[in-house]
Amino acid sequence: MTHTPLQGFPTLADLERVAAERVPDRVWAYIQTGAGEERSLEANRAAFRRWSLRPRVLSDVTSVDLRSRILGREVDAPLFVAPMAYQREVHPEGEEGVARAAEDARVLSIFSTLSSASLEEIARAAPSGPRWFQLYLQPEFARSRELVERAERSGYSALVLTVDVPVLGVRDRQEAGGFAIDASVPTGNGPGVVPPARAPSFRGPTYELPANAAANWGILDDLRSISRLPVILKGILSLEDARRAARHSMEGIVVSNHGGRQLDGAAASLDALPAIAEEVGSTLEVYVDGGVRRASDVLIALALGAKAVGLGRPILWALAVGGGEGVREYLSSLSRDLATAMALTGRRQIAEIDRTLVQRIP
Ligand code: GLV
């Protein structure tokens, strides 16, 4: 049996526990915490527990195929690595390790504007992708444009515009830990990259936010005018916004509460998913992230209409424990877990996962 970095930590609980020992406390606080009282962070996990699976039997599951298509591109599993900032803080291999692992697993990965490695370094590490670029709008559109053009030149095949951060959420535990997003944390994409503001400033009777908070739906036309890449909106939780994204001809949306890190009290991503997928899922691709840990979670999210399911914190735990190799191992064990769960539910292909696979626990 070959040694793998995750050996000895075979369960996800172990992975989280060991990761906690490997990363500095301040980084751990950054990764793990959510906004405010962490109601939305907890809600993401709790939402999965309100659904159970309805297995079908005697379905000849000698061959189980996880392959699916995301925006037309074939991937080996309907999963994606969610965009997460500052990955070299977690492990020296950082985003490049994650990118290589996802490329090897033929799984989509999305990289943040606030990556520790530059988007070009990430692209060189995993040239064949598939890779998407997450954009935080910059105070000046010219700066956003530069990032978009660089991403396009480096072979990123879609733009993921994060729309739930006009300002960062209030992350009490993170601030207490001493590591939080601000301009003092170096990013790989250049000193000119401005992170979202941590708080509004009080100016007389109103609270003022930086220029990126001025964005409205018109920004989508601006993005279209500078890039031919498909645009995905990340951070949609309402039917109204989902419909509007469809009217603006977005290629996809990520139903997400930003890992519970933005608006405390916002709906769990999974709770928002079914109605949105039902309404706009035939017009654009609907993805979801938040609280996904295991194959059963993936099945529930797919059954409720997600085209692909994002992984956040577990990727960082695996990175902390084993670098890129750890992420590779995690993705392969999750895929194996998913193939097992499909066999046990009598599904041979991703296309056979439908609403009848789940029931709401009364
Ligand atoms: C970045 O997007 C974060 O949530 O910390």
Ligand 1: residue of 112, 162, 168 to mutate (most ligand atoms within 8 A of CB) is 168
Tell me whether strands 308-311 and 252-255 are parallel, antiparallel or unpaired. Answer: unpaired
165 CA distance to ligand 1 centroid (A)?
9
Residue pair 134/109 in contact (Cβ under 8 Å)? The answer is no
Six-digit token pair at 222? 């601006």
Is 258 a pocket residue for ligand 1 (Cβ < 6 Å)?
yes
Question: What is the reported pLDDT for 1?
Answer: 42
Question: What is the reported pLDDT for 234?
Answer: 98
Alpha helices (runs of H) in the chain, residue ranges in sequence order: 12-22, 25-32, 39-48, 94-105, 119-125, 141-153, 172-177, 218-226, 239-247, 269-280, 295-303, 313-345
Residues 6+ apart with CB under 8 A from 83: 110, 111, 112, 134, 160, 162, 234
Q: Whose CA is nearest to atom 1 of ligand 1?
A: 85
Residues 6+ apart with CB under 8 A from 105: 76, 77, 328, 331, 332, 335
List the single range of 178-182, 223-227, 286-290, 347-351 with lowest mean pLDDT. Answer: 178-182
Is 181 a pocket residue for ligand 1 (Cβ < 6 Å)?
yes
> HEC states along 235-277?
EECCHHHHHHHHHCCCCEEEECCHHHCCCCCCCCHHHHHHHHH
Give catalytic residues, as residue numbers.
258
Residue pair 105/332 in contact (Cβ under 8 Å)? The answer is yes
* Nearest atom within ligand 1 for CA of residue 165: 2
Question: What is the reported pLDDT for 174?
Answer: 85
Give which of 110, 89, 127 is closest to 308, Cα–Cα: 110
What pTM value is reported for the model?
A: 0.97
Is 234 a pocket residue for ligand 1 (Cβ < 6 Å)?
no
* Nearest atom within ligand 1 for CA of residue 30: 5
Q: Whose CA is nearest to atom 4 of ligand 1?
A: 261
Is 261 a pocket residue for ligand 1 (Cβ < 6 Å)?
yes
A 10 A CB-CB count for 335 gives: 19
Six-digit token pair at 324? 């890129």
Residue 10 CA: distances (Å) to CA of 7, 15, 23, 326: 6, 7, 19, 11
Q: What backbone phi and psi angles, to 5 degrees, belong to 317?
A: -60, -45
Ligand 1: residue of 110, 165, 172, 234 to mutate (most ligand atoms within 8 A of CB) is 165
85 CA distance to ligand 1 centroid (A)?
6
Residue pair 183/198 in contact (Cβ under 8 Å)? The answer is no
Residue 349's region, left for phi above 0, alpha for psi from -120 to 50, else beta, is beta
Is 277 a pocket residue for ligand 1 (Cβ < 6 Å)?
no
At 246-256, the pLDDT tens digits run 999 999 999 99
Q: How far is 126 from 104, CA to CA, in rounded Å?
A: 9
* Nearest atom within ligand 1 for CA of residue 83: 2
Per-chain mean pLDDT for the chain: 95
At 224-254, the pLDDT tens digits run 999 999 999 999 999 999 999 999 999 999 9
User: What is residue 300's three-state secondary structure?
Assistant: helix
At 72-115, the pLDDT tens digits run 999 999 999 999 999 999 999 999 999 999 999 999 999 999 99
Q: Is the pLDDT of residue 260 over 80?
A: yes
Residue pair 7/330 in contact (Cβ under 8 Å)? The answer is no
